[in-house]
Amino acid sequence: MFRRCVLALLAVSSAAAAACGTCGEPGCPNCDHVDFGSCGNACCKLTLKVDLDATAATAALNASIHAGGPDGNYAARPTDEGTSGFADLRPYNVSAQFIGQAWHTTSGAARYNDTVDMNVASLGDGSIVKFFSLSLVGGALGDAGQNFKNIVALAQDAFGDDVALEHADESCPEPGR
């Protein structure tokens, strides 16, 4: 149904990602890119090139989000354009064709909320998705890798396990950096 993205950076099964949506829980994957307030609060900014056009890529993300995402804790947010999840920017002739937002709520006693912002732009025969996840609790110096996980889990759910996410800045660095 969805085409696979080229160049596997992360290969964790969707089933494993669905089993754990919150960093800090035992055995929870993709929690090793801890951010220490690089955006003034804990955050993560990643990009992903996919072999789908912008409309199809947006539809895949929106379907995942509206279904609750891989762990059932993602929620589509209303857009300024009056839609849920993603807005169509094509009438405005700007660089991105779609822009969207979701909230992710962690499980456990704390129930933290993070915002995941996305935009999708055409790129040759495919598209590029820009993700930005931000911890919504003020003073989040460290996120235990949650913002990275929010993006990876959603990208894998929408596009398959072999996604090649790339760092867009110094946020959510590789482990050991």
* pLDDT tens sequence across 132-147: 999 999 888 889 999 9
Residue 162: how many other CB atoms lie within 10 Å: 15
Kindly report the pTM of this predicted structure: 0.88
- If you average pLDDT over residues 135-164, what whole number do you get? 93
Convert 117-133 to b/e letters by CB count within 10 Å (16 or more is b). ebbbbbeeebbbbbbbb
**Strands 113-123 and 98-105: what pairing?**
antiparallel
What is the rounded CA–CA span in Å between residue 112 and residue 73? 11
* pLDDT tens sequence across 88-128: 999 999 999 999 999 999 987 788 999 999 999 999 999 99
State in Å, rounded, how far the first CA of the chain is from the last one: 37
What is the rounded CA–CA span in Å between residue 44 and residue 80? 23
* pLDDT tens sequence across 43-72: 999 999 999 999 999 999 999 999 999 999
- If you average pLDDT over residues 171-176, what whole number do you get? 92
List Cβ neighbours of 81 (8 Å cut-off, separation of 6 or more): 87, 88
Residue 39: how many other CB atoms lie within 10 Å: 19
> Which bin fits 145, alpha (ψ -120 to 50), beta or left (φ > 0)?
left
pLDDT at 19: 56
Q: Which residue has the tokens 């090649």?
A: 164
- If you average pLDDT over residues 142-168, what whole number do you get? 95
Average pLDDT, the chain: 88
